[in-house]
Amino acid sequence: MTQSEAVPSVLDRFAHILSAIDTVQEVLHGISENALGNDRMRRLTLERLFEIISIASDHIPANLKAVENGIDWQAIADIGGRLENTRDRIETDVLWTISQDKLMPLRECAERHVRLMV
């Protein structure tokens, strides 16, 4: 296996989560939920970012998730599943709720673990 084919570590997964959350915040900066509903490109961007976050979080070990019980791991997994299995767009209110309510605890967790692992 070459270095470019190496399996990402837990640290890598947390870095992916942080990067995606940073981009979510950039995408949503200065925009309202209503404006998001009318902006197809932003919605599609958020959907992809949530997919990245969900995939990365799937690779966080269960024992680590168990101690991080302030995070709604199931909601993060569920949005990934919906994005994987839908041909339609995800409702704006779902994207907004996840970005406003679910990502900050995940961000804090990822930052904490990156500090511990570096």
pLDDT given for residue 4 in this prediction: 61
CATH number for region 8-117: 1.20.120
Per-domain boundaries in the chain? 8-117
Q: pLDDT per position in the chain (118 positions), as tens?
A: 555 678 899 999 999 999 999 999 999 999 999 999 999 999 999 999 999 999 999 999 999 999 999 999 999 999 998 888 766 678 999 999 999 999 999 999 999 999 988 7
Cβ-proximal residues to 6 (8 Å cutoff; 6+ apart), any chain: none
d(CA 49, CA 24): 7
Closest CA to 97 of 20, 18, 14, 24: 24
- pLDDT, residue 86, reads 67
Model pLDDT, residue 68? 93
pTM of the model: 0.90
- Does the CA dihedral 69-77-105-34 come out positive or negative? negative
Longest CA span, the chain: 47
pLDDT at 2: 58
